[in-house]
Amino acid sequence: MPIYFQRNEILRSIPHGSEALLIEEAWLTPKNNILAILRCKGTESFFQGHYPNNPILPGVVLVEAFGQAGALLCSSIKSFKEHKGYLAAINKVKFRKPVYPPSIVYLEVHVKQLRSKMAILKCYAYDAEEVPVASGNLWVGFKPEK
């Protein structure tokens, strides 16, 4: 049975503030994947300057959403419970299809490789028709919380 996270539970589990939170709800699956939702209404400030007459979701916003979903996933890993994760590298990110508002982007993140102080996450983004929007790998380093 998947574990469901609402906005407040996500905020308690990851090191992001509410002003920067992009994912609104998520599910931790029995296979230890995170499925998350990014809603693009078109009213977000980053759309104002990113092609004003033809707004497109900036790729960096998709990567940040991957990072937030990944942080939620890593917060569920027992060996990293008392640690804080930091983005260490972004690798092989591909943007396959533009995202125009209003739309919903479905994110899927799973652990590709786990090391003692690092996790490599494989990330995918899909639109409502399940067409791939983006994919890539994130490397997350962990340090004990102070």
Q: Which residue has the tokens 């890993």?
A: 77
Q: Give the pLDDT confidence of 74-117 residue by residue, as tens digits.
A: 888 877 777 778 889 999 999 999 999 999 999 999 999 988 88
Would you state the pLDDT for residue 14? 85
Task: Quote the pLDDT of residue 143.
Answer: 81
Sign of CA dihedral 111, 72, 16, 60: positive
Predicted pLDDT of residue 75: 86
Q: How many CB atoms lie within 10 A of CB 44?
A: 16
Q: Which of 107, 97, 116, 79 is nearest to 22 (CA)?
A: 107
pLDDT at 126: 98
| Domains delineated in the chain | 3-144 (3.10.129.10)
Positions annotated as catalytic residues are 50
pLDDT for 52-75, tens place per residue? 888 999 999 999 999 999 999 988
Above 90 in pLDDT, residue 136?
yes
Q: What pLDDT is attached to residue 86? A: 84
pTM listed for this prediction: 0.93
CA distance 107 to 67: 10
Residue 35 has pLDDT above 80, yes or no: yes
